Structure 1
């Protein structure tokens, strides 16, 4: 959802480790490196069908290689929201990179729902922060909570994303104050909702063929406030990702529970969603950001993990 054409290009020009990473990705996917950087999503494609997910994953993994190989900065834990959760599992060593990109390539082939099925959509809504998002549309047919993005504005509200059939979303919006519900015209799939079960079903043969391992470092879930430490838990994360709601508060809360001292947000991201954490956060997307991350590690007295295997 935060795809930016050109993401990762500056790092690619400067660091051999990034160049090696992209060469492998191009080999695994059959997509030339210039296309990974610059290809735009074609009209009519869903967000999962373009090159964007591959571009984002490549950028995140390239940045992690620079941090690890050039500066010895490796994670003590990983996390991600939505698609980012899958990349986080890969960064933690629970999934091989080649298998991750095999899955992302398969995502490009997900067939569209039958023309006879109702049109899907995504909508944004601000609600009082003390409102439980899970109860918001619990009794509304064909409208589902897709994501809780946490505090926005002055902190008295939270932003949620809803997924459902377009007509059902319009009917729900009519029960709210005018203009409260903003339906996206760009994203026509009710992601992170039961309406995406066909995606999970389509990916099942790939998931069955993948090797999931216990992560080398904890992976903090974006679906519940819990830590994933086993291969089965990572497999469950991948299977549920298309259909289950995700939550920034759950993810950040898990990091806070673990005593996180510093967070590095890698690659294109809605960085503002992390600024309500009780630990410092640095966005790392460009060469300048890499220096900022290195500086933050030392300024905050972070003791880096010493196990070389973490950087593999």
Structure 2
């Protein structure tokens, strides 16, 4: 395989994402019209609604806006330029959207699920406050050993190498008091606790989300993807509908790993990655293959140029965009 689509997680939402492409391309306008019909949320709200204080990403319009932007970009690349991927992958929330791009999940089913996420009940009153924290550690640090004696703090995401390559960035999820206490055992200022994300994503503390979604996921249809979906949880290509269902089930509670995701794409012979939609683009620049960020109309032209400059062979026949 040659060309892969890569999607970032759900912490990069910005109001207005996708609006420029919407103004230019009828295919994107149709994408948003469909999403508005499925969700009951007007297009203008999808673009511009702000997250309310105390509201998690999954409970607002942010997840819907981010998924819509990705699908709109994929539709432009396919409809206008005939560019489709031979593989897809996504980090965290992006994994769900990538499975949709691969045709394993119908678009309407994805947005029905995202609307269901808006109904996840809040923890009972008096429950300990949750949080996410960022930490840079030496690259060869054993995170399991680092957290072995730390209660209520979990590895949520390993974002891979940063800086000169001697360190890597990890996200930790846990109770806020436990994270604050853990921070006191580290050099001053080493642990940065986010004030914007109050849920310990990809940790056992989100089991209530998995339990809430379980009946919906049991009822959903998951098809074998038309192209491999490279997991963000282990170094593996997912090729069956049941593997995709398992990905959806584990997404709230299991840690994600950029190195494993990129490594799986490298194992498959990826020669160019297009990072679609809102993203912390630097997260994926450690890949051995070149990556191009595609979010604006200018980016679309850059992606088209890269595909032809690198001599990427596009899949023949059926359009591989869900």
Q: Which band: TM-score by shorter chain?
A: over 0.9
Are 1:112 and 2:122 counterparts? Answer: yes
8 Å CA contact retained: 1:200, 1:243: yes
Query: TM-score, structure 1 length as denominator?
Result: 0.98
Equivalent position to 2:108, from 59, 76, 98: 98
For 2:192 and 2:292, how far apart are their aligned partners in 1?
30
Q: How many residues align?
A: 312
Q: Distance in 2 between matches of 1:169 and 1:276?
A: 28
Instruction: Name the CA distance, whole Å, in 2 between partners of 1:264 and 1:144.
Output: 30
Shift of 1:115: 1.5
Query: Are 1:155 and 2:165 counterparts?
Result: yes
Q: Which has the higher contact order (CA 8 A, sep 6+)?
A: 2
Q: Structure 1 residue 48 and structure 2 residue 58: aligned?
A: yes
Q: Alpha-carbon deviations, 1:250-297, whole Å to 9, x = none? A: 111111111101000000001001111000111000111111111001
- Does residue 8 (structure 1) correspond to residue 11 (structure 2)? The answer is no
Matched, 1:298 2:308: yes
Equivalent residue number for residue 179 of structure 2: 169
Which residue matches 2:209? 199
Alignment of structure 1 residues 179-258 onto 2, 5 Å: 179-258=189-268
Partner of 2:283: 273
Unpaired runs of 5+ residues, structure 2, are: 1-10
Partner residue, 1:17: 27
CA distance in 2, matches of 1:280, 1:212: 31
**C-alpha distance in structure 1 between counterparts of 2:83 and 2:148, whole Å:** 43
In structure 1, how many angstroms separate the alpha carbons of the residues matched to 2:242 and 2:149?
32
The alpha carbon displacement at 1:119 in A equals: 1.0
Pair 1:82 & 2:67 matched: no
**Do the aligned partners of 2:174 and 2:203 also contact (CA within 8 Å) in 1?**
yes
Structure 2 CA distance, aligned partners of 1:16 and 1:197? 41
- Runs of 4+ aligned residues of structure 1 deviating over 6 Å after TM superposition are none
| Corresponding residue for residue 7 of structure 2 | none
Of 73, 90, 95, 1:63 maps to 73
How far apart are residue 117 of structure 1 and its match? 1.8
Structure 2 length-normalised TM: 0.95
Q: Equivalent of 2:145, from 135, 147, 152?
A: 135
Secondary structure of 1:159's partner?
strand
Unaligned segments of structure 1, at least 5 residues: none
Contact 1:7 1:55 in 2 (8 A): yes
